[in-house]
A and B are shown apart, each in its own frame.
Chain A
C-alpha cells in the first residue's frame, strides 16, 4: 500500500465515518451511538423472534437439515479442521524457514492456497446462512443501522436516489481486511501518531463521547497494542518478521505453543512429586480415554527432539512389529556416544 492510500484509510478510520459518493450525491454514514446500538440489538431480537414465529430455521437447524439432506457431511467439517491445522503448521514452517527465501515463498504459496480452500469450504457451509433466523435478524439490524446513520447534508437520508442495498454493500466493503489493518497499524502515518498520542495529547479518534468505536477503529487499536506488546516481548522477533503477516502469525503460534508447553511442564512438575518418575528418561502419563485433549496435552510436553525420537521409534515398531530398546536409532546413537567416550578415556588414560 502506498503512503497516500494509508493516509486516506487512517483519516477515514479516525473520523469514524464512511463517505459515499454516488451520482453526485455525497453521503456520510456516522458511527452508531450507544443508544442506537441498543436499539439495533432490539431490532435484531424482534426480527429473530418474528422469524421463529414464521417458522424460519435457526442456524443449528439449517446445519442439521444440511446433514440430513446430504448437502453437508461430518467429513466436510473434518476437512475444514484439517485445513485450519494445515494453515497453522504452514505458518510455523514459514517462520522456521524465514531465512530460506525460496522455501519461504513456496510455503507462502501453500498458505494462500490453503486459505483459499478454507474460504471456499466455509462459504459452502454458510450457503444458507441468509435463510436462517440469525441471517434474517442480522440483515434487519444492518438495514436499521444504515437507515439511522446515513446522512446527506446533515439530514438523515431518504434512500430515494440511492438504494439501501447499495449503501449496505458500500458500508460492508468499508470494513477493512485484517491484513490491511495490520499494515496500517505498523506503518506511517498511524505509527507515529500512536506512539506520541499520550505525550502530545492527540485525539486519535474523532468520535463524539456517546459514539461507539467502529469495527475498523477497534481493529486498528487492538493491532497497535499487539505490535506494542511484541516490541516489549522478551523474545521480540526481527523487523522482517514483524512486517510479514505470515511470519508474524508463525511467531505467534510458536510463542503460544512454547508458553503452553511451559505451563503444562509446570503443571506436571507440581502434580508429580515423585522425583524418580520426574527424572526418568521415559515418563508415562495416564490419559482420560474420553478426553482427546488429555492425549494432546501429554504429547505437547515433548520438545521437538523428543517428538522426533518418538516418531523414529514408532517407525521402528511399525516396521518390525516387535522391537527391543536397542533397536531404536536414538538408543543406538547413545550407545555409539558411550562407546566413543569410553574409547577416548581409555586411550587418554592409557
Chain B
C-alpha cells in the first residue's frame, strides 16, 4: 500500500458531469455543452499546482516581481465499466472517429457537484460545484482483474478551475441527481458491472506471445470444445499516456493548444498463471518476438482494439515461493497510436 499524503481534503461528491468544451472566453467558464452525468464513478482526485517565477533586480533585496504562471489542473476520474458511456468517450465527444489520434484533439469541461460541510440534506441540487474547463485527456487506463470490477481511469489536464455556489447555473443541477436516479441507479450494460466472466474470449484476440495461444485470429484464447479459455489470464491492463505539451502563443496566457506527444505508446499487460515456463526465447541474433493483434471485447459491447502491431516488450516470471504461491507470468506489450475504444452504438459519441 502506498503511503498516501496526510494533507488530502476529502469532499463528498454528488455527481460528476462531462460536457463538450465551448471556447467562449467567458470568465468564469461557461457551462459544459451537452453535459452528461458519468455513471459508476468510484472516486475523483484533483491536483492543483500554481507555478510561480521570481524576478529580482540588482541593488534590491526584495523581490522585483513574483510572476504567477499557469495553474496546472489534473483530475483523475475512476469508474467501473457498467455499460454507461466511458469517461474517455464523454471527454472526447465530437470526435470524427474513434481513433486515439482523433479523440486526443477534443477538449471537455468537467463539473463535480459537491456537498457543503454543513450540509444536512444530501438530495437535490448540489450546493457547490467545481468546474474545470478546457480539459484534455492526458492518460487513460483500463483494468480487467479476476477478483474485482473492470475499471476505467482517466486523467485530464487543464488550466482552469472554479468553484461555484450556484451549481444549477454551472451544469450541476438537479438533473444530475435525476440522472443517477436519486440513489436508485443500476448498471445498464449486459452483464451489469463488467467482471472476469464478462471478458468475451470467443470474440477477443489475445496476443500470440502468451504461452498456449498459437493463432492471431478472433477467439484465439477460446477452446470451442470445452468452451473455456486456453491460457489462464489473471489480469489485463491497457494504458496510454498522451504526455501533453503546452503550445504557447504571444498575446495569450493560456496555451494555444496542449498537444499530445505523438507517437503515443499504448501498453498492455497480461498476467497469466504459469502452467509451465514463459517460453519466450531471447537470442542474440534474430527476432525473438512477433507482432500481434490485440483486441478485448466485453459483454456490454465495449471493445478495446490495440491494432495489429503490438509487440512483446518484456516478460516477467514471478511467484512460486515456498509459501505455496502460484507462479505467474506477466507479458507486457507495446504499440504506438493504436487504441480504438468503441462502446455500444448509442453511446459511441
| A binding-site residues for B, Cβ under 8 Å | 269-272, 274-292, 294-295, 298-299, 301-303, 305-307, 309-311, 313-314, 317-318, 321-326, 331, 334-335, 338-339, 342-343, 346-347, 350
Number of interface residues of B (CB under 8 A): 58
- Stretch from B38-46, B96-104, B201-209 forming part of the interface with A: B38-46
Q: Is the CB of B13 within 8 A of A287?
A: yes
Complex A-B: 17 CB contacts under 8 Å: A269-B4, A270-B1, A279-B4, A280-B74, A284-B114, A288-B183, A295-B115, A305-B7, A306-B7, A310-B117, A313-B163, A321-B165, A322-B28, A322-B166, A324-B163, A339-B54, A342-B54
Known contacts A298-B11, A307-B117; 11 additional CB pairs below 8 A are: A279-B2, A280-B45, A282-B46, A284-B114, A295-B115, A295-B122, A299-B117, A303-B6, A314-B116, A314-B128, A321-B166
A280 → chain B closest CB, angstroms: 3
CB distance A284 to B13 under 8 Å? yes
User: What residues of B have a CB within 8 angstroms of the CB of A347 in the complex?
Assistant: 61
Nearest opposing residue in chain B for A335, CB measure: B50
Closest to B75 in A: A280
Closest 6 CB pairs of A and B: A280-B45, A277-B45, A290-B183, A284-B44, A284-B13, A298-B12
A331 & B162 in contact (Cβ 8 Å cutoff):
no
Determine whether B153 belongs to the interface, using a CB cutoff of 8 Å to chain A. yes
User: Are B119 and A346 within 8 A (Cβ)?
Assistant: no
A272 to chain B, nearest CB (A): 5
When the two chains form the complex, which single residue of B12, B47, B161 contacts A285, counting CB atoms closer than 8 Å?
B12
Determine whether the beta carbon of A287 is less than 8 Å from that of B115.
yes
- Expressed in whole angstroms, the minimum distance between the Cβ of A267 and any Cβ of chain B is 12
B14 within 8 A of A: yes
Question: Residues of B contacting A303 with CB < 8 Å?
Answer: 6
Q: Which listed residue, B7, B41, B50, touches A331 by the CB 8 Å rule?
A: B50
A348 to chain B, nearest CB (A): 13
| Contact call A284/B164, Cβ cutoff below 8 A | no
User: Is B123 a contact partner of A289 (Cβ separation < 8 A)?
Assistant: yes
Q: A324-B163, A326-B50 are in contact. Are A302 and B10 (CB under 8 A)?
A: yes
> Is B9's CB under 8 angstroms from A302's CB?
yes
Binding site for A on B (CB under 8 A): 1-2, 4-14, 16, 28, 41-48, 50, 52, 54, 56, 61, 63, 66, 68, 71, 74, 76, 78, 112, 114-119, 122-123, 128, 151, 153, 155, 161-166, 177, 180, 182-183
The reply to whether A283 and B9 contact each other, CB–CB distance below 8 Å, is yes
* Bound-complex Cα distance A219 to B128 (A): 48
Q: B112 — which chain A residues lie within 8 A by C-beta?
A: 284
Task: Find out whether the CB atom of B71 lies under 8 angstroms from the CB atom of A325.
Answer: yes
Complex-state Cα separation, A272 to B7, whole angstroms: 17
A331 to B7, CA, bound (A): 13
On whether the beta carbons of B8 and A283 are closer than 8 Å, the reply is yes
CB distance from B343 to the nearest CB of A (A): 21
Complex Cα gap A309–B2 (Å): 24
Nearest opposing residue in chain A for B143, CB measure: A273
CA distance A303 to B4 in the complex (A): 14
- Residues of A near B128 (CB, < 8 A) are 314, 317
A347 CA to B13 CA, complexed, in Å: 44
Nearest CB in chain B: distance from A128 CB, A: 30
Q: A278-B45, A310-B9 are in contact. Are A324 and B14 (CB under 8 A)?
A: no
Name A281's contact: one of B48, B151, B164 (CB within 8 Å).
B48
Cross-chain contact A301 with B165 (CB below 8 angstroms): no
Give the residue among A291, A324, A335 with the most B Cβ atoms within 10 A. A324
Verify A322–B50 contact, CB threshold 8 A: no
Chain A positions within 8 Å of B43 at CB level: 272, 274, 277, 283-286
Q: Verify A289–B183 contact, CB threshold 8 A.
A: yes
B54 touches A280 (CB 8 A): no
Judge whether B45 and A282 touch: CB under 8 Å: yes
Q: Which residues of A contact B10 (CB under 8 A)?
A: 283-285, 298-299, 301-302, 306
Which residues in B have their C-beta under 8 angstroms from that of A301?
10
* Candidate in B9, B14, B41, B112 with the most chain A CB atoms within 10 angstroms: B9
User: Which of B56, B117, B164 counts the most chain A CB atoms within 10 A?
Assistant: B117
Q: How far is the CB of A307 from chain B (nearest CB, A)?
A: 7
CB contact under 8 A between A274 and B45, given known A287-B12, A301-B10, A324-B162: yes
Cross-chain contact B164 with A322 (CB below 8 angstroms): yes
Q: Are A277 and B78 in contact (CB under 8 A)?
A: yes
A325, B63: Cβ atoms under 8 Å? no
What is the CA–CA distance of A216 and B12 in the complex, to the nearest angstrom?
45
The reply to whether B161 and A342 contact each other, CB–CB distance below 8 Å, is: no
Chain B residue nearest in CB terms to A264: B10
B9 with A346: CB separation less than 8 A: no
Which of chain B's residues have a CB closer than 8 A to the CB of A294?
Answer: 12, 122
Q: Which residues of the partner chain B approach A276 to less than 8 Å between Cβ atoms?
A: 45, 76, 153, 155
Residues in chain B near residue A321, CB distance under 8 A? 164-166
Q: Which of A269, A272, A325 contacts B42 (CB 8 A)?
A: A272
Closest residue on chain A to residue B164 by CB atoms: A322
Q: Which residues of A contact B44 (CB under 8 A)?
A: 277, 283-284
A282: which of B1, B11, B165, B183 is its contact (CB, 8 Å)?
A: B11
Q: Which residues on the A side are within 8 Å of B122 (C-beta)?
A: 287, 289, 291-292, 294-295
Q: Are B123 and A278 in contact (CB under 8 A)?
A: no
For A281, the closest partner residue in chain B by CB is B47
| Cα separation A295 to B119 with both chains bound (whole Å) | 9
Residue of A nearest to B117 (CB): A310
Closest to B114 in A: A284
Contacts of A313 in B (CB 8 A): 163
